[in-house]
Structure 1
């Protein structure tokens, strides 16, 4: 189980290799990698700046990691999120979950993603040809998170 918040890029293949290394008890390894898009609706995006308060962010991500591990039978979890200036096409974050069975790994990964999109304490500022603007959480992100208030299904 790991939470990493870093400025540097990461190698998705290497991260997944490290989770699997020496393991024979995993039946499923699910990952999601978020990327910076070059558009937000009709607006062109030329850059994205991600800010955070390190101690607050680490506590929040570790808490959601513990919640996922309590809800599903997971053998491994990785939450990796970048901060600082990013360009379109850059990797922003990844989550990976490993379990003996796919349902738990998929559901836990979705749960973590829904939390990261709506509740993780990161502030995002998009740069466009017209200037910079802060990005607000969307109602659809909140709706996705709301489904997890029901008991776990695994």
Structure 2
């Protein structure tokens, strides 16, 4: 996605935070600039647990939950991206403040069709946008809403303890 939209328009905490950056402040600023939050969900995302054995998503101070809650509170569309046939969580399995995730239109990415699935996601996020191997899209892209403010996309990496990227959904 960063190759397509430009690295400055895609935020991923592991890749986008400078050393020494204040995490909470930078995450909130990225959400303020966002047009859409892409919520990457793997098979074990909902069951990821903290050191005490409590589901991470049940902790009100969990960053994934806070990012989703902020997005929903601000009316930022949240796109669940389901990896390798992961099912969308049922509403009752989520805390009330992020229950909208279970009702959001999502997208599937499969290991076997990774490139095509990512290209399809990009086309849906920015209709008319070019995908790798095709001619460049007219600028500015739809993800910027033709705005000079430089608004972009926040990618919330939420696959529990796995390090998931869209380039390698089976990361370490």
User: Aligning the two structures, in what range does the TM-score lie when normalised by the shorter sequence?
Assistant: under 0.3
TM-score, normalising length: structure 1: 0.25
TM-score, normalising length: structure 2: 0.24
More strand by share: 1
